[in-house]
């Protein structure tokens, strides 16, 4: 038996009223100590839960900050990659232009050779302007017959086509029948090269 109960038992034998009162006091003390223990445990559990939740919030905040920093770094890398791709595209475009020009080089040489070969005696060029697949020739001829012969020879060339006389004016400073002419001739090979490029 517990020491307090043993005493009560003895008192119970003597007088019943004090024994019941004492028993109530003991039960009341046990109840209050149980309530205090439960309250202490509850407060401890609440504090522990609060610390755990705050710790999880701090961990998640740290993870979010880490992700934000890495996302910023990745954004920088993506911008660098886009810049590199843009530069790459520009370089490829330049390479295509250079390849096209190198591919057109033999065509230009042949066209200039044909222009020289088709020039009849008594005629010379003063200006040659190329715009796309068309070449505008300006020159001086001793007579209209020389211009007609030039047009026939240009039309017969494998590299030149469709000679078109734009303008003829007299040029007495070069001779009595001399004329200044402007004529346009088409170069099909250059047109094909431009369409491919």
pLDDT of res. 128: 87
How much is the pLDDT for 17? 60
Angle (nearest 5°) at CA 21 between 12 and 35: 125
Q: What pLDDT shows up at residue 31? A: 92
Structure tokens at 159: 């590299």
pTM for the model:
0.46
How does pLDDT run across 60-74, given as a tens digit for each residue?
999 999 999 999 999
Task: Confirm if 107 and 153 have CB atoms less than 8 A apart.
Answer: no
Q: Which residues contact 184 (CB under 8 A, 6 or more apart)?
A: 134, 135, 136, 137, 163, 164, 166
Interatomic CA distance for residues 5 and 9, integer angstroms: 6
Domain that holds residue 174: 97-196
Give Cα 168 to chain centroid, integer Å. Answer: 55
Does some domain include residue 118?
A: yes
Is 117 contained in some domain? yes
Residue 183's CB is within 10 A of a number of other CB atoms, namely: 19
- What domain count does the chain have? 1
3-state secondary structure of 135: strand
What does the pLDDT average to over 89-108?
A: 79
Residue 189 covered by a domain: yes
Please report, for the domain that includes residue 182, its CATH number. Answer: 3.30.1360.100
Residue 43 belongs to some domain of the structure: no
Write out the E strands in the chain: 123-131, 134-141, 161-170, 179-186
Q: Give me the pLDDT at residue 67, please.
A: 95
Asked if the structure places residue 79 within a domain, the reply is: no
For the purposes of burial, counting CB atoms within 10 Å of the CB of 118, is it exposed (0-12), middle (13-18) or buried (19 or more)? buried
Q: Which range has the top average pLDDT, 78-82, 167-171, 183-187?
A: 78-82
Q: How confident is the model at residue 9 (pLDDT cuts 50, 70, 90)?
A: low
Q: Quick check: is 186 in a domain?
A: yes
Higher pLDDT, 98 or 56: 56
Nearest-angstrom CA–CA distance, 12 and 144:
157
Question: For strand 161-170 and strand 123-131, is the pairing parallel, antiparallel, or unpaired?
Answer: unpaired
């Amino acid at each position: 038996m517990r020491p307090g109960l043993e005493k009560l038992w003895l008192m119970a034998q003597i007088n019943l009223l004090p024994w019941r009162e004492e028993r109530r006091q003991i039960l009341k003390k046990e109840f209050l100590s149980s309530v205090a223990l439960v309250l202490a445990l509850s407060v401890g559990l609440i504090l522990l839960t609060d610390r755990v939740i705050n710790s999880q919030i701090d961990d998640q905040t740290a993870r979010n900050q880490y992700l934000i920093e890495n996302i910023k770094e990745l954004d920088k890398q993506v911008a660098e990659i886009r810049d590199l791709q843009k530069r790459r595209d520009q370089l490829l475009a330049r390479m295509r232009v250079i390849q096209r020009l190198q591919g057109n080089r033999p065509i230009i040489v042949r066209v200039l050779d044909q222009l020289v070969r088709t020039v009849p005696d008594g005629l010379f060029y003063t200006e040659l302007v190329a715009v796309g697949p068309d070449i505008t020739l300006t020159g001086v001829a001793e007579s209209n017959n020389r211009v007609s012969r030039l047009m026939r020879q240009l039309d017969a060339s494998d590299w030149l086509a469709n000679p078109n006389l734009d303008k003829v004016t007299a040029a007495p400073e070069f001779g009595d029948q001399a004329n200044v002419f402007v004529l346009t001739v088409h170069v099909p090979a250059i047109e094909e090269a431009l369409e491919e490029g």
